[in-house]
Amino acid sequence: MFPRGIHNLQNRLIISKAQEMGITCEPLVEACEDFLKLSLGDKQIIINKTRSHRLPLIAGLLAKNKQACNMLLREQGMPVPSFIVIPAIGNEATAFLRQHGSIVVKPLDASSSLGVTLDVRTEDELETAIRLAGVHGSSIMLQQYVTGIDYRVLIINDEVAAVNEYRPVYIQGDGNSSVRALIEKMNQDRLVMTSIGEYEAFPRVDAEAEHLLEVLSGQGTTLDQVPATGQEIELYDLRNSAAGKISEFYRDCTEFIHPDNVRMMIQAAKTLQIDVAGVDVRCTDIRKPISGEQGGILEVNALPDLTHHVFPHGGTTRDVVRVYLEYLCQEQGAIRI
């Protein structure tokens, strides 16, 4: 069904949906996943996953530079947690930590969650986190840590296409199974066979990891105890944690986002000139207007992942790939469907 060498799930989703819509979609270079060519009649479009042919180069660069991104969003009056940029550990860093009590340390221009440490509260933790961030970037951003719930808002062509709530994976007791057995079942269930191949909802959780055992101990439980029916057991503690090592559940909550937040997320993408954007937000409740007192925009991504919206851990599956392809095909000189 898929061309040779195409293993990336986003590319497979795009190819599969394009075929369903009557659009020819194939790698621009054989067995290379970097670029897909969409063709219908004599019209062609080249894309890179969710980077469209309409994404300005400057937009991708702005999104990658967290300082520039935050400055532009603040100029538009949007809630962005307080931040500073530093070259290394020093008095400015420790003063910022003392001012806010809890901060996030991250490389200024690294992608994904590489080198990011959450909820740093002590000077020793700060020094370690800055050293880690320095491995992945030349400059380091310190940002006020915002408590609340994490959301990813997918924007396509100035519209909210989907919203996911995400949280570190956890288990729920059934009254019969031990914590160890529940973790093992969760690890098995995370792998789902779909029409585009095997989908891994999240990385495997190591039940024997020292950090996990500490988190369980903090909740007064062990791997061998049997939680009551409905009892939730956390497997991660965000306190001084490396963000890239946390497995997460993604649950669709598109219907719950407040209209004011819809307008804000769209404006955030517009401000950075990103046509297909993933806006990361942390707030107490996406159903209420976001303000600086109860949340803020953490990041705007120019290469958002569609797979968690198509295969959410809970809630409604969203046909965001169709929305994306319809957007690519709708304007002058492009494919019309």
Backbone angles phi, psi at 298, to 5 degrees: -95, -35
| Close Cβ partners of 33 (under 8 Å, ≥ 6 residues apart) | 5, 6, 7, 8, 11, 27
Residue-level pLDDT at 40: 79
- pLDDT (tens digit, 9 = 90+) per residue, 154-210? 999 999 999 999 999 999 999 999 999 999 999 999 999 998 999 999 999 999 999
Low-confidence ranges of the chain (pLDDT < 70): 331-337
Global pTM reads 0.94
Domain 82-145 has CATH 3.40.50.2300: no
* Domain residue ranges of the chain, discontinuous segments joined by +: 82-145, 171-235
Residue-level pLDDT at 332: 44
What's the length of the chain?
337
Give strand ranges (E) for 28-159.
36-40, 43-47, 83-86, 103-107, 117-120, 140-144, 149-156
| Separation CA 173–CA 92 (nearest Å) | 46
Q: Smallest Cα–Cα separation from 64: which of 102, 106, 10?
A: 106
Residue 7, CB half-sphere, CA atoms under 13 Å: how many? Answer: 3
Q: Is 176 exposed, middle or buried (0-12, 13-18, 19+ CB in 10 A)?
A: exposed
